[in-house]
């Protein structure tokens, strides 16, 4: 009888132990599944973040490539502008030398900014140099569209100097005459300055043309000498 009771108690204890292990296993399984789901979620987040980072890297690489391409284009454009500007500055300097002294003096503060050696000038000041050229050309263009009279001292081959009034017809031709009307001539612009030629035999016509502008004389046709360039 005692052995049967002991066996029964042992069987009951075994069943209780099995039930406890099943409950513990079920609980452990739930915890393990929750942990696996959490880890899988974290792995998914890491993958998504990795994909975003790779996309950002690709975008950054593309932007860097675009910036480099733009830099290359800018450098090429700057080189072209610098090359073109050298020629512009040289031609502008030549034009300044063809202007009357009074106009050259007016432009002196600006024209002195033209580099003496345009090819070795500062490439970082392209905009300033272009503005200088534009300012000078605006004045040259203004002068070229006008007919104006200037009082000047003309020096002649014999060393004599006479005060004359010079009538400039833009940068094409000019005519001068002394106050007594005995000395007259005409000129054309050259590379370094104007070239003057005597025309005393046509002094009356030249004086008449000058007086139309300076003294309001009646307009009329004037038979003036001309030299084609």
DSSP 116: S
Radius of gyration for the alpha carbons in the chain, expressed in angstroms and rounded = 48
Tens digits of per-residue pLDDT, 200-209?
A: 999 999 999 9
Tens digits of per-residue pLDDT, 96-114?
A: 888 888 888 888 888 888 8
Block residue for tokens 């974290």: 42
DSSP 31: H
- What does each C-alpha distance from 143 to 87, 136, 171, 185 come to in angstroms? 22, 11, 8, 21
- What does each C-alpha distance from 59 to 54, 62, 68 come to in angstroms? 8, 5, 14
pTM strictly above 0.75 = no
Alpha helices by DSSP H, 98-182: 101-111, 126-144
Pull the structure tokens for residue 210. 């000058």
H or E, element range at 79: helix 2-97
Strand order in the sheet with 161-169: 147-155, 161-169, 173-178, 184-189, 194-198
For the beta carbon of residue 113, count every other beta carbon within 10 angstroms. 16
Pull the structure tokens for residue 228. 């084609």
H or E, element range at 115: none
Predicted pLDDT at 119: 63
Tens digits of per-residue pLDDT, 6-64?
A: 766 776 666 676 676 677 666 666 666 777 677 777 777 777 777 787 777 777 777 77
């Amino acid at each position: 009888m005692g052995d049967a009771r002991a066996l029964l108690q042992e069987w009951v204890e075994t069943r209780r132990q099995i039930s406890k292990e099943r409950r513990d296993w079920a609980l452990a399984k739930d915890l393990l599944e929750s942990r696996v789901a959490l880890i899988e979620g974290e792995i998914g987040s890491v993958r998504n973040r990795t994909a975003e980072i790779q996309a950002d890297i690709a975008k950054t690489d593309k932007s860097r490539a675009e910036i480099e391409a733009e830099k290359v284009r800018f450098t090429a454009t700057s080189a072209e502008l610098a090359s073109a500007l050298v020629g512009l500055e040289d031609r502008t300097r030549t034009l300044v030398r063809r202007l009357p002294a009074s106009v050259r003096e007016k432009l002196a503060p600006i024209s002195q900014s033209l580099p003496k050696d345009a090819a070795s000038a500062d490439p970082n000041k392209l905009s300033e140099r272009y503005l200088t050229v534009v300012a000078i050309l605006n004045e040259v263009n203004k002068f070229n569209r006008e007919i104006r009279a200037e009082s000047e001292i003309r020096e002649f081959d014999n060393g004599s100097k006479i005060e004359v009034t010079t009538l400039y017809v833009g940068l094409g031709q000019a005519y001068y005459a002394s106050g007594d009307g005995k000395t007259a001539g005409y000129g054309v612009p050259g590379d370094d300055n104007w070239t003057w030629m005597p025309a005393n035999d046509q002094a009356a016509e030249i004086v008449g043309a000058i007086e139309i502008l300076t003294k309001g004389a009646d307009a009329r046709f004037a038979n003036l000498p001309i030299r084609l360039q």
